[in-house]
Amino acid sequence: MDIVVCIKRVPDVAEADVEIDRSGLRIDDSDLSWGMNEWDTFAVEEALRLKEEQGGTVTALTVGGEDDEEVLRRALAMGADQAFHLQDDAFSASDALGVARVLAAAIRKRPYDLVLTGAVSGDTGSAGLGGMLAGLLEVPQVALATRTSYADGKLEVQHEVEGGLERVVELDLPAVVTIQTGINEPRYVSIRGIRKVASVEIPVEGAGDLSLDAAALAPQVTLKELFLPPTGEGAEILEGSADDVAEKLVEKLRERGGI
Partner 1 sequence: MTTASKILCIVERAGPGLDDTAWELLGAARALVGDGGRVGAALLGEGVGDLASELARGYDDVWAFDDARLASWDGEAYARAVAPLVAREQPALILAAHTNLGIDFAPGLSVRAGVPLLPDCLALEHADGGTFEAVRAIYGGKVHARYACTPSEQGVMATLRAGAFAAAEPGAAASGEIHTESLADDVGQGRRPVRTVEPEAGEVDITQASILVGVGRGIEDEENLEIVQSLAEALGGEVACSRPVVDKGWLPKSRQVGTSGVTVKPKVYVAVGISGSFQHVGGIKGSPFLVAINKDARAPIFGVADVGVVDDLFDVVPALEEKIREAKG
Segment 200 to 229, residues that bind partner 1, using CB under 8 A: 220-229
Q: State the number of binding residues for partner 1 (CB under 8 A).
A: 85
234 binds partner 1 (CB under 8 A): yes
Scan residues 77-136 and list those touching partner 1 (CB under 8 A).
95-97, 100, 119, 122-132, 134-136
Figure out which of the listed residues 2, 13, 70, 216 binds partner 1, where binding follows CB under 8 A.
13
Three-state DSSP class for 214?
Answer: helix
Measured CA to CA, the distance from residue 158 to residue 91 in angstroms comes to 34
Contacts of 78 (CB under 8 A, 6+ apart): 44, 45, 48, 186, 187, 189, 193
Stretch that binds partner 1, among 56-64, 76-84, 138-146, 187-195 (CB under 8 A): 138-146
191 binds partner 1 (CB under 8 A): no
Figure out which of the listed residues 191, 198, 215, 237 binds partner 1, where binding follows CB under 8 A.
237
Task: For strands 57-63 and 141-151, give the pairing.
Answer: unpaired
In whole angstroms, how far apart are CA 131 and each of 88, 115, 134? Answer: 24, 11, 5
Measured CA to CA, the distance from residue 184 to residue 148 in angstroms comes to 10
Which residue from 66, 122, 69, 129 is spatially nearest to 95, judged by alpha carbons? Answer: 129
Check: CB of residue 39 under 8 Å from CB of residue 121: yes
Stretch that binds partner 1, among 46-54, 56-64, 110-118, 142-150 (CB under 8 A): 142-150
Figure out which of the listed residues 14, 198, 214, 215 binds partner 1, where binding follows CB under 8 A.
14
In whole angstroms, how far apart are CA 18 and each of 21, 140, 228? Answer: 10, 37, 9
CB of residue 26 vs partner 1: minimum separation in angstroms? 10
31 binds partner 1 (CB under 8 A): no
Scan residues 47-66 and list those touching partner 1 (CB under 8 A).
none
256 binds partner 1 (CB under 8 A): yes
